[in-house]
Chain A
Amino acid sequence: MNPLLSVNNLTTSFNLDDGDLYAVNGIDITLHQGEILAIVGESGSGKSVSLLSVMGLIPMPPGRIEEGEVLFEGKDLLKMSYREMCRIRGNEIAMIFQDPMTSLNPVMRIGDQIGEALMLHLNMTKTRARKRAVELLELVGIPDADRRTRDYPHQFSGGMRQRVMIAMALSCEPKIIIADEPTTALDVTIQTQIINLVKRLQSELGMSVVWISHDLGIVASIADRVAVMYAGKIVEKGTVDDIFYHPRHPYTLGLLKSIPRLDSDESGQLEEIPGHAHVCFDQPSHCSFANRCEFKTERCFQEIPILYETDIGRTRSACFHWSRLSENENV
């Protein structure tokens, strides 16, 4: 089956005063119809920038897409004209943002904001768009939707606003929804509601979702496949279960160890990954995680690892020493 979206060798840099910052450094992502792909990584690992590049929303300059292609249904989004891109955004690929408190226009009625995309893409009249907005609000579980469409964003709570954002993203029934840490700004009970909502809608409407997050707990509960990013590169990818139970990259292992667990018998401190996240000025010449890695060898400082096949079915790991992780696991 052809993937719905395939990103090949995407490289995005920012021209800053101190040199070129490579925020995304040759990543490959494939997304199939009806699948939820999670992209995981710590702050500054390039998760958001890679997906904004896909949407063509990197501010240029200083941003620049150095190379790569983004194939959506076989067409390269990076080569599309401004007008064609406007037709893709919202209509075929929609986005949900991290902070629902600031992502809605404070002086526009909710109904009008949801109707905006409908009027833009489906040429709906204002009345029809408003009617559809009510249906969408009902779909995302906002009670008294008819009256609420006439409210302004400040009359909604954070969780409700995120539901509105989801309704906006869904409005044109896009094939892909990119969710950029949509639960980070919400409290835990609301997080669960939003996750369940997205899962329900995803299975009902059959869209594909790219879920960006730094929270592995959330990823475990929602994703089908996971890609772990570090310093602008994908260091490991595979199915959720494989990644969580059989990590084959030391960075993923480190991330997993740093999650508090209810079921662990050991008491005491959480393990952390020593050092700081690597910032890529110019192209790296070796594994960018090497400085912080507990498995590092000479080779790690001389070569750049590619994504190797591993002993776990579909898992690919960008580590020369993935086999040592597998040995460790079996001990």
Chain B
Amino acid sequence: MKTSSLAFSENSEISIVSKKRKRKRRFNSGRVSGIAGCTIVTCLILAAIFAKQLSPYDPSSQSGKPFSPPSAEHLLGTNDIGQDILSELVYGARISLTIGIVASIVAMVIGTTVGLLAGYYPRVLGRVLMRFVDIILIIPFLPLLILLAAYLGRSLVYTVLIIGALIWAGTARVIRSQVLTIVKQDYVLAARTIGASDLHIIVLHILPQVLLLAVGQFVQATSGAILLEAALSFLGLGDPLQKSWGTVLYWAQVRGVFLTPAWKWWVLPPGMLISLAALGFALMGFALEQVINPRLKNNSK
């Protein structure tokens, strides 16, 4: 009797230790990308917030000679009407990031709602919603995006809504699959027996359990939203009064800069910023996913 209990406690200790070690390793693998992503995103957001202090000139007024190459006065040179490109980019961060983040918040709300409903009512409503999700997923984004943007007009609000309406489908899928397993839990049935309505169960018992998952999806979607916004603006379908990084590229293209030496300071920096922002959110999302996603958690065990 004594020996068996001793063996048991030893065993459990070993398993605790190995569990700890495993958790540490998993945390580390996501950690590098997490820290890198957070740093990039934080820097960009800070730049956007303190645009006024950081930018040397007013981006909308002429501050130098047109097409002047980088110099001490204009670190990234000027554009065709003599506006300081660095200032344009710093202010552009506001627009690009805002659209990216707000659009993916929109996507998160739509995706989570659809996922919750589809998971909670899997029979009829769920099937209809998921077929709709499939359709959204297989539609080629860019042509539809262009069509919608051209049809609705060029404004910040529309850009946000259009992007949001196109990227929620992935979130809906992830949330639904999680809801399907939660609904089968005994405590959901128990909640029903105390007279909780469906809405009450969805909001109080299911939503909190998928919220973290939704946040993870949100961060990943932001990366895509920033790229989509850049694409739209580059095609001249962004709000003309709100210059984003994509808009800067659009004007560069319109003025034929791609064929002149000016591309080095006019095209390269906004392009790199767009990639950097997308990369930053993607890395953050990647790291979050490793901690949150139940499937990845099980695989690593």
Contacts and interface: CB of A to CB of B under 8 A. Distances in A.
Interface stretch (B77-85, B105-113, B181-189): B181-189
B193 interface: yes
Interface residues of B, number: 18
A108 B192 contact: no
Contacts of B123: 61
Nearest to A56: B192
Given A105-B205, A108-B205, A120-B200, A97 B186 contact: yes
Interface stretch (A70-78, A88-96, A242-250, A269-277): A88-96
A94 B193 contact: yes
B191 A105 contact: yes
Interface string B189-208: 11111111100100011001
A36 interface: no
B199 to A, nearest CB: 10
Given A108-B205, A116-B204, A103 B187 contact: yes
| Contact residues of B: prevailing secondary structure | helix
Contact of B195 (A91, A102, A106, A107): A91
A121 interface: yes
A150 B173 CA distance: 34
Given A102-B185, A108-B205, A120 B194 contact: yes
A105 B192 CA distance: 12
A94 B194 contact: yes
A106 B191 CA distance: 13
B4 to A, nearest CB: 19
Contacts of B29: none
Contact of B196 (A97, A99, A107, A120): A120
Interface of A: 55, 57, 61, 82-83, 86-91, 94-95, 97, 99, 102-108, 116-117, 120-121, 165, 168-169, 171-172
Given A103-B187, A106-B187, 9 more contacts: A82-B197, A83-B197, A86-B197, A91-B195, A97-B190, A105-B187, A108-B204, A120-B196, A169-B194
6 contacts: A94-B193, A104-B187, A108-B208, A116-B191, A165-B190, A171-B194
